[in-house]
Structure 1
């Protein structure tokens, strides 16, 4: 715990670092070696850029949870076994199923030759089920078949007896099993992956890789598409259409959506920020001067990210855009101060010294406060928070260092090369006055406080309204609304569901052997029976595809064979057809898992050569609704069976885990950020009252943001929740700069402070908003929601800072002048 002495010591240490004499010596050194400094900085940036380009992008929501989370550990094991639940599907549409089958048969051999194909099929060989139909029949039905056969043979044996006669003439008994056969119609696996109307046929391909490997996904999708294009479907029928989809295609679609969103968002953000800076400083060169140190700091940041994290997740992928907007704030404030000093007649060394010692000092407080606010997020198990906090905090500190040490060298180089001069054109619109009027106790009157009290009252009313409607803010419970899907993907999935209607996101349990399969299945079925309106619909394993009571059935079948062998001569030739059909299905043996068709066993046994088996637990209701997903996850996340605990997993369960961690960590994150900001601001101003004054507009702005969410129906999501603690860290920057400038110039110069520092605050906030605003062009709905909420939050915090903070400072100054 920091005590008063430690805070004073730290405050004095920072003040000494930014003493004008020290900074002046630093500027002289930077000026002397400015070319060497730039060469070294560019060299370091070049090396950093190499590592930046090696960072992986993880677009899966699994990347938002720690790897040691039980559901994540299980899902990764399952993905290794199954290839990430991965499949590719070639969807064939035509008016005639036979034509679709012909096309599938054409491309199948070429696809099967690919070294990455584990299994490809469009039909299930029903020879196996036809051959073993007696083993798959109910035991009672097998007994009935034997009984009818015995009665049939007995009757014909009697008819062969010369002493046999009938009291009443009746036709001979017919050997009929049609009623039994009727029971099993439609109960065996279908022969083709086709829709009921036969207009859609799907060729399913199971690759040997995993869906998280984007390079592998690109390769197999491209090769499959190439096969389809080589075999033009229009040859067979003008209306035949063929498309390629499946989970690998979905992952690629999401990946490309994110990449395209990054590119478009970065472009719009860069253009918007550049235009704003050019307009504010009224010179194109300004964006080059400010942009160079910023780009360097971004390169250093993501090189560090590569070494410490190695990857970007779906939320941190856009930090390059956001950091561009955040880091440039230091450049705006410092370049503004530099221009003011130069216009007032200061030399280059004097202007750079004032820029670093004064504005650099404020930037140091703002940067460390914002950075440590972000670093406080690293405690969270939600990697969207912790990775965001680490990268953002690191980026802000490196941006500060770049502007403190590289920016002066950049300006010195520009002036030495006569890239700009301080003439009327350069400083157009910049009005500078150096004779600032200091407030005196006798010059302040209590009537001057009335307008500021009115502002405080108005702000208080708006804040109270926000607090009242705050509970009506809702959370986005439908995961479907947060998933990125192209129109083509939606159309493909709709057609695919006409063939595969069963849920494709069941919970999956990985077990070692048949005994464990039976234990897990029994435990789940008991849960279903014991729970009223259970969220679990059914459980399925490979054992469900093995015949029941095989030993008893084989014994009866053996008896049937023996009966036929001994008595076949009694059956008339014209009655032998039924007997021949029966004899064909009597040549059976015990069926094991290995005997099943590959298309049946592959989903349960996974990629060839991997150990273990999979058990699938299916939900009763759609898991896209988080409330139902929570019920389902609570029922199946842990399964106790046979003295062991098994963990199930699936993407919906991962999503539930994410939300539960967020519900726990978000409030802690907000509290920690406020606490860290307060401590760092207090260390800077060394006054509890003024620390609260600086912090109040920030909290007010966040409350207004939440109030606007409640009023407009904007929902919280697992994506935009990262904005809540982030806005606190981002919003403090302007308040710190405003406070320091107000203390420097005094209350009688509020107008100058407002238009000079407030103007810089406006531009700085605007650049940050533009950085986040780049996300508004994102197709991914979750990322889009980050942009919307961040812009609202930055706007409300800026408005609160420019209204509430000056009012508090003026009221306190007026009260002080009356003492």
Structure 2
């Protein structure tokens, strides 16, 4: 602790003097800036288009934009109708569909039934030749027996049982194309109790605001339909549990459009109660810390003003908020108030030394200002590290949070001292009455006269080392065993696995989210997976190459194991070899049956005989024979840009895409689809060999997941390096720099160990808390060590700034703790992890760091201790004042 430690920086002294001499001007400037910022804040909007948050140069984004241009959007808004009575369901679906199609402003097209007559008639060309032959054998045996028995001259000497026509095994095998049944035009479930209407809005699924408004419009339209004569007494109600009957149809919304809205707006709708609760908790903790209302109002109002200025800065620099930066205000309230707390506590300490108000304010700005400035720089820099993220949601958040932290820090070290200086102008005793005072902490025991010290620092360090070691032991993964994160693990499994990352994004959404529950029900009733992804091809030949590659039976078992089904225009084209062989059988069969009189068959058979005879007429056809109603589903829209003209092949996953690991597997498999070179009959190349990549929401989420995981690791390393460098530049001493980061490093290590013990996991949302905690955690060591380096013993340092450190930590923890009331589980997990990290760093500050400071103090020469133990906080000398002037 050299003399250089006590030298007052000229700039800090000049700044402090300006605040004391021109408080009115400072306050007016702040209020004027707040007024302008309030105007900018009122202009801020939230951009809900999540696609804008990812770099537009990424291939995944370009691919998705092409698909959106070709088909009008990614996925569908699904309207599911549920009821026990099939005719009622179909009547309601027809009426609702007519209303949807009339809404040209919002609806591009709908799909709720597709004529299946063509597929039924051509099905004989698709079945395996051996199955067709077996079907022919069974049907002919049945027909011959029926004709024989219906002959009026039929006489049976020895009674025999009629031949039974058992075709169910073959019918089930070939009763659908993909997962769409060919028995019914409607998209109706196998149990006939749920019917789907797939709506393609005029915008894409990432434009959440438009989807939200449209869903509300649909609710009103459906309510109006229930009251209309067209409904014929049938009530249509939104319900995700009822089944319905002849007079009731229950409906619900799901699909990529609705799930995206529900997830994003669950965050937004949580912000208001979270922000109010956070502000209330912060205000209460501040009152308890000061035990006075006036200092609480000073720092609270200053923090609110700083937040408004930050929002105005956001409007000027970025122009809008997104779904990530929308939580900025609530976060800054908890972070920003810390600077006001430290200033007020330090001013009370200076007033307690008997200094006049102006000198006390000036010294508080100088002495508390340096660690506050370093803390603001380091914390802001920790946020700025997020600028390296490819995800614009994180990079914009890092930029705005970093600037906001610095803005609020500077403002509170201007607003608070200026207000107190203005009060002192009115009455020199008023600042002391308003905020109180703190007498200098005693350095010696009143009973023994001995110097107060941290008891047994060596033992404290030894015990702390053991505790931290045990917790670190818990956090380290000791086994490669993949322990499930969707259910509680045993304590032994937790120890083996260490800190785990939960890839299941379903764990982040609100409990019981209706759109997800309905999607699960649809998957079960229709045996249908989530919305598909798509592979683009310029020509039909390329589409055929893609289809052949993905439908290869051997490759589906190994290379494409995560694919459930592939639907292409070629799904409706029978394989040429099979079609040729089957056509021969059908032709022969038709010849055998030409003399059969349908009227001679039993009545129950006659109804199906006409369709059956049509099926026998099926002859091979190529892709150009596919009816337009089917082909149009795979071809670009008329309004598509010329460069995006072509065809799409749709791929459905066989895995749960909510599970991040399985989603990444599915995306990896569909991002590497090799197709061979295709030549025409003359040997000309009509489709080049290439590796094709699918496009869709899964690809975007997979890229985002990898960005988050990569950025989480990168930002932690960069923030750690930034903190170490800044602490060294501040203290110019390796030992002091390392000592100052003890609360941070040890606290976070303990946090990870506690998370393992209590079966808490890192995930795609709370991983961003790690660099934030690193940035905030620096303040503990900075304030304590700077006070210690002013020439006070560890006990005095703790008693001087310990209350401020504890209060600032608790206010920040309160801000994050408010997230625990959010309905969104991702926000809850952020709050839990942040609170654990903040509390552990605070505990370490008052134990491990305090013991380290005591050891450092004990190693100083006795004469140095005696010389500084009773030295008051230094005031600027006359020489300093003249130089600053």
TM-score (norm 2): 0.77
* Segment drifting more, 243-252 vs 404-413: 404-413
> Contact 2:343 / 2:413 at 8 angstroms: preserved in 1?
no
Hey, what does 1:328 align to over in structure 2?
337
Residue 77 in structure 1 maps to residue 66 in structure 2: yes
Give distance in 1, aligned partners of 2:507 and 2:313: 34
> Contact 2:268 / 2:323 at 8 angstroms: preserved in 1?
no
SS state of the match for residue 124, structure 1? coil
Give distance in 2, aligned partners of 1:640 and 1:121: 32
Q: Deviations over 1:111-166 (max 9, x none)?
A: 11101212224322224435655666778999999999xxxxxxxxxxxxxxxxxx
> Contact 2:590 / 2:617 at 8 angstroms: preserved in 1?
no
Give distance in 2, aligned partners of 1:146 and 1:197: 29
Distance 1:605 1:427, change over 3 A: same
* Residue 796 (structure 1) shift: 0.6
Which of 495, 510, 524 pairs up with 2:521?
Answer: 495
Residue 252 in structure 1 maps to residue 273 in structure 2: no
Residue 790 in structure 1 maps to residue 790 in structure 2: no
Hey, what does 1:218 align to over in structure 2?
212
Distance 1:794 1:178, change over 3 A: closer
More helix by share: 1
- 1:461-540 equivalences under 5 Å are 461-471=466-476, 472-484=498-510, 486-525=512-551, 529=555, 532=558, 534-538=560-564, 540=566
Give distance in 1, aligned partners of 2:334 and 2:134: 79
Q: Which runs of 5+ in 1 are unaligned?
A: 1-8, 149-176
SS state of the match for residue 197, structure 2? strand
Which of 10, 24, 29 pairs up with 1:16?
Answer: 10
Residue 764 in structure 1 maps to residue 762 in structure 2: no
- 1:698-737 equivalences under 5 Å are 698-737=744-783
> Contact 2:266 / 2:824 at 8 angstroms: preserved in 1?
yes
Give distance in 2, aligned partners of 1:798 and 1:674: 18
Hey, what does 2:289 align to over in structure 1?
280
Distance 1:365 1:231, change over 3 A: same
- 1:501-580 equivalences under 5 Å are 501-525=527-551, 529=555, 532=558, 534-538=560-564, 540-548=566-574
SS state of the match for residue 669, structure 2? helix
Hey, what does 2:821 align to over in structure 1?
777
Per chain length, whose mean CA-contact separation is higher, i.e. which structure has more relative contact order (CA < 8 Å, sep 6+)? 1
Distance 1:589 1:208, change over 3 A: farther
Give distance in 1, aligned partners of 2:257 and 2:331: 30
CA RMSD in angstroms comes to 4.2
* Segment drifting more, 538-547 vs 804-813: 538-547
SS state of the match for residue 243, structure 1? strand
Distance 1:486 1:542, change over 3 A: same
Which of 407, 414, 420 pairs up with 1:405?
Answer: 414
Distance 1:572 1:200, change over 3 A: closer
Give distance in 2, aligned partners of 1:580 and 1:487: 45
Give distance in 1, aligned partners of 2:728 and 2:67: 51
Distance 1:297 1:574, change over 3 A: closer
Hey, what does 1:170 align to over in structure 2?
none
Give distance in 2, aligned partners of 1:122 and 1:493: 16
* Residue 499 (structure 1) shift: 4.2
Hey, what does 1:235 align to over in structure 2?
233
* Residue 745 (structure 1) shift: 4.5
SS state of the match for residue 374, structure 2? helix
Hey, what does 1:431 align to over in structure 2?
438
Give distance in 1, aligned partners of 2:550 and 2:575: 22
Residue 676 in structure 1 maps to residue 685 in structure 2: no
> Contact 2:339 / 2:412 at 8 angstroms: preserved in 1?
yes
Give distance in 1, aligned partners of 2:660 and 2:846: 40
Give distance in 2, aligned partners of 1:768 and 1:593: 66
Give distance in 1, aligned partners of 2:428 and 2:273: 32
Give distance in 1, aligned partners of 2:456 and 2:541: 79
Give distance in 2, aligned partners of 1:333 and 1:43: 26
> Contact 1:56 / 1:310 at 8 angstroms: preserved in 2?
no
Distance 1:813 1:564, change over 3 A: closer
- 1:187-206 equivalences under 5 Å are 187=176, 189-190=180-181, 191=184, 192-206=186-200
> Contact 1:265 / 1:777 at 8 angstroms: preserved in 2?
yes
* Residue 418 (structure 1) shift: 8.2
SS state of the match for residue 615, structure 1? strand
SS state of the match for residue 395, structure 1? helix
Distance 1:673 1:498, change over 3 A: closer
Give distance in 2, aligned partners of 1:779 and 1:550: 55
Distance 1:816 1:142, change over 3 A: closer
Pairs aligned (count): 767
Q: Deviations over 1:791-819 (max 9, x none)?
A: 00000111111222222122112111259
Residue 100 in structure 1 maps to residue 89 in structure 2: yes
Distance 1:307 1:346, change over 3 A: same
Give distance in 1, aligned partners of 2:821 and 2:113: 43
Give distance in 1, aligned partners of 2:611 and 2:17: 106
Distance 1:631 1:736, change over 3 A: same
Residue 47 in structure 1 maps to residue 39 in structure 2: yes
* Residue 490 (structure 1) shift: 4.0
Distance 1:762 1:590, change over 3 A: same
Residue 815 in structure 1 maps to residue 841 in structure 2: no
> Contact 1:363 / 1:400 at 8 angstroms: preserved in 2?
yes
Residue 743 in structure 1 maps to residue 733 in structure 2: no
